[in-house]
Amino acid sequence: MKLQLSDSQQPYARSAEDMIAPRAAPPRTSSWSWKSEAFRSKIFQGFFVLVLIAVAAYLIHNTTDNMRLRGIQSGYGFLIQPAGFDIGETMFAYDSGDPYWKAVLVGLSNTVRVALLGIILATIIGTAVGIGRFSRNLLLRVLCQAYVEFFRNVPVLLQLLMWYLLLTEFLPAPNEPWVFGGGFYLSKGGVSFPLPQWALGHGTALIGFLAGLIAVYRWRQRQFARFEATGQTPKLLLPAFGFLVGGTLAGWLLGGAPTALRYPEMGTFAIDGGGALTPEFLAVLIGLTLYTAGFIAEVVRAGIQAVPRGQGEAAQSLGLSPGQEMRLVLLPQALRVIIPPLTSQYLNLTKNSSLAVAIGYPDVVSILNTSINQTGRAVECISIIMIVYLTTSLSTSALMNWYNARAAIQER
């Protein structure tokens, strides 16, 4: 039976048929046509890049012309010339007759050393203080809050100067040091301590330690998989300690178990031999660590508070202790909030290490400042400083972004 439509209903039927009927595809515009949005976007971007290149070329050309008219030398050829100055603290052999590039490498190694140690120590202290803000002990909460408020609100340069003055003014003279355990000396000259005499066993011990780290990682994965499957509390601390100690000890034994040490000896005016940490290095490390730990503590506290309260209540209803609640429930979820601002604090610590020049620590800024005074190559030396900090910052960001991607919630 065919449905009959009245004359008044015919226009509506035709319009419905037009809507349902397939429409022809819009005419394709050529990728080289000005009507193409993608083509216009590429033209504008290319023009902007050309403008930036032209401005940079003009600035470089103008700078080199002015330097040539004033008799100022330019170029990076000075890096292969003898530096002609000594460096008081080095991680490898260096002499005043070595070229400038090696002096810059010494400064870079000093910068990286204080940055890496500072990041590790600041993370440990900041995490402990941030968790301490949630303690049920009133005294501990107040102390953690006082720590954060004090070290966050005192400028980092003043803290570096404060620690440097404490280490150089209130400690005994280098020829009258405090002695601890027969092999440790503390004085205005820094800290001296016994140092292992390098042998094959130390290399194999390092390999064993790395193997222990791999074993800890695999054990952690298996324990958390069992926790998700059965709900049993994962056992991490003691097994991890056993893997690390056992791997290191096994490597040390396989390498011959070397025990020779180079002990520091008391000289006429100072302590010679062994290992040593200068007061400049200690002041920079302590100052940057305590200052950055105050900010990390607030990052950790904010991350934990961002976890819904119901998560903690659910953990308590399962009978978890406060420590288990923090370690197994709150911190893993807070980590996703903590990592991005934590990256910024790591970058700040690395860049703040440039303030070490104020107390005489031979970092890359101090070395290149000396190079500027001797060679007059200010533009070149400053560009090297910029490249060093840009490279270290981008490397830190890339590593933390990778870790953030691993810790993020995996959506389907």
241-268 residue pLDDT tens = 898 999 999 988 888 888 888 878 777 6
Please say whether the beta carbons of 350 and 389 come within 8 A. yes
Q: Does residue 270 belong to any structural domain of this protein? A: no
Supply the CATH number for residue 289's domain: 1.10.3720.10
151-178 residue pLDDT tens = 999 999 999 999 999 988 888 888 788 8
With cut-offs at 50, 70 and 90, classify the pLDDT of residue 40. confident
Token digits of residue 232? 């049993």
Query: Which pLDDT score, from 0 to 100, does residue 1 have?
Result: 47
Note the Cα 332 to chain centre separation in Å. Answer: 20
CA distance 50 to 317: 64
What residues make up the domain containing 401? 100-174+277-407
176-226 residue pLDDT tens = 888 887 788 888 888 888 888 888 888 898 999 999 999 998 988 888 888
- Helix spans in 9-137 (H): 10-20, 37-69, 100-132
Q: Is the pLDDT of residue 19 over 60?
A: no
**22-34: average pLDDT:** 61
- Strand ranges, E, within 73-183: 178-180
Summary mean pLDDT of the chain: 84
> Percent of the chain at pLDDT above 90?
36
What is the pTM (predicted TM-score) of this model? 0.78
**378-406: average pLDDT:** 90
CA angle 213, 216, 220 (to 5 degrees): 145
**105-115: average pLDDT:** 93
* 146 sits in which H/E element: helix 138-153
Q: What are phi and psi of 191, to 5 degrees?
A: -115, 130
| Total domains present in the chain | 1
